[in-house]
Amino acid sequence: MSEIRHNWTKEEILTIYNKPLMELLYEAASIHRLHHDPNTVQVSTLLSIKTGGCPEDCGYCPQAARYHTNVEGNDLMSVQQVKAQALRAKSSGSSRVCMGAAWRNVKDGEEFDQVLEMVRTINKLDMEVCCTLGMITENQAKRLAEAGLYAYNHNLDSSEDYYKEVISTRGFEDRLQTIDNVRKTNVTVCSGGIIGMGEAIEDRAGMLVALSTLNPQPESVPINALVAVEGTPLEDQKPISIWEMVRMVATTRIVIPETQVRLSAGRTEMSREGQALCFFAGANSIFAGDKLLTTPNPDVNEDMEMFKLLGLNPQKPFIKKMQPQTVEAANSQYQALGEKPKWSRPEHKIERNEVAKVKAKAVK
């Protein structure tokens, strides 16, 4: 099925996750093509505008003040510094800049005013602007929206059941409340999680239940592989396999078909072949640059070389809905399903999800 559902159960998602890999890949790739251009991937740049000193105890995070890591803290960057980084990102092919600050929650005042000016500045560069600043109130979300914010990131991290095994300083409901505050504006939601923190597969399914039952579903869902950092409580966790990442990406694509599935942390441990499988399974966004906040990330030139090898194109900014496809492309999808061509007018532009709506049983 490829229609939008908000009533997925954990049992249904587990059945999808545990399918034979080739069947899972085929289903995910088929649904991906109904809603997205399979040869387009968004390139985003993640910028740490304020590093270290966070009062929370997220077990995976090297920026927590209570852990002894090698992260060097810094004060909030200036607007000029952020603009320079954004211009550099744009010249390298990024269409989105994501600014992260190691705060538990946003506090009104001079620093927040400075972040608002950063949002205005990047927005004028014709780039999408995303922020991840911790918990925000409804009023703060409104102010960010007025400044031109395109997306707000607030990950659920894991299932509600496993969440408390990783974090104690902020509740799962707190995260849902921040997402709800963002939803009261025109800012899109970016929310996903991390796999490889010691959770069970049931917890991965539980996280997708929580995300898919949001209405509307998040426009972006980052799937991160834990990067175990020395000095954090999760420093001894073994890296997940590429097959686990591929299965998680594919399952996310099936359950949340219209979202941008973001292949996020952990790409330095993935081969190009592994990343290609993730793109085939439905991932259509990556983070570029040498760091993801504080953890390593592939060089942007390596990513562009990979794009060239795979025939992928960077996505342009501000594309919330997929561009219309041609009659020929839509009819070829129908023929692949054993159906007769449906559309005949060559000038007609068909929305990508129109095929899915008319033929909801595209993939069984």
Residues 339, 359: contact at Cβ < 8 Å?
yes
Rounded CA-CA distance 169/177 in Å is 15
pLDDT in tens, 75-85: 889 999 999 99
250 and 190, same domain (yes or no) = yes
In angstroms, the first-to-last Cα distance of the chain is 6
pLDDT of residue 247: 98
Helix (H), strand (E) at residue 96: strand 96-101
117 lies in some domain: yes
pLDDT of residue 292: 47
309 and 335, same domain (yes or no) = no
2 lies in some domain: no
364 lies in some domain: no
Helix (H), strand (E) at residue 251: helix 242-255
181 and 284, same domain (yes or no) = yes
Q: Model-level pTM?
A: 0.82
Residue 328 burial class via C-beta count within 10 angstroms: exposed 0-12, middle 13-18, buried 19 and up: exposed
Residues near 230 by Cβ (< 8 Å), separated by ≥ 6? 69, 70
42 and 87, same domain (yes or no) = yes
321 lies in some domain: no
- Is the per-residue pLDDT at 253 higher than 80? yes
Residues 97, 127: contact at Cβ < 8 Å?
yes
Residue numbers annotated as active site: 54, 58, 61, 98, 130, 190, 262
CA distances from 79 to 95, 242, 307 (A): 19, 38, 31
259 and 168, same domain (yes or no) = yes
Assigned token pair, 40: 């387009």
46 lies in some domain: yes
pLDDT tier for residue 106 given thresholds of 50, 70 and 90:
confident
Rounded CA-CA distance 228/158 in Å is 16
Rounded CA-CA distance 174/161 in Å is 14
What is the domain-level CATH number for residue 217? 3.20.20.70
300 and 348, same domain (yes or no) = no
335 and 255, same domain (yes or no) = no
- Is the per-residue pLDDT at 62 higher than 80? no
Range with lowest mean pLDDT among 14-18, 22-26, 336-340:
336-340
> Number of C-alpha atoms within 13 angstroms, CB side, residue 79?
15
108 and 180, same domain (yes or no) = yes
- Is the per-residue pLDDT at 70 higher than 80? no
189 and 272, same domain (yes or no) = yes
Write out the residue range of the structural domain in which residue 213 sits.
Answer: 10-314
258 and 195, same domain (yes or no) = yes
Instruction: Provide the residue type at 212 as one letter.
Output: S
Work out the number of other CB atoms within 10 angstroms of the CB of residue 21: 14
93 lies in some domain: yes
108 and 152, same domain (yes or no) = yes
Rounded CA-CA distance 220/352 in Å is 18
195 and 59, same domain (yes or no) = yes
- Is the per-residue pLDDT at 38 higher than 60? yes
Work out the number of other CB atoms within 10 angstroms of the CB of residue 81: 13
Segments in 92-200 forming alpha helices (H)? 110-123, 138-147, 160-166, 172-183
CA distances from 133 to 140, 187, 323 (A): 11, 14, 31
194 lies in some domain: yes
pLDDT tier for residue 219 given thresholds of 50, 70 and 90:
very high
- Is the per-residue pLDDT at 222 higher than 90? yes
5 lies in some domain: no
Rounded CA-CA distance 276/296 in Å is 20
Phi, psi angle pair for 133, to nearest 5°:
-125, 10
Q: How many domains does the chain have?
A: 2
> 131 by DSSP, 3-state: which?
strand
pLDDT of residue 330: 57
User: Could you please report the per-residue DSSP string of 302-359?
Assistant: HHHHHHHHHT-EEPPSS--SPPPB-HHHHHHHHHHTT-------TT--B-HHHHHHHT
pLDDT of residue 72: 65
pLDDT of residue 54: 72
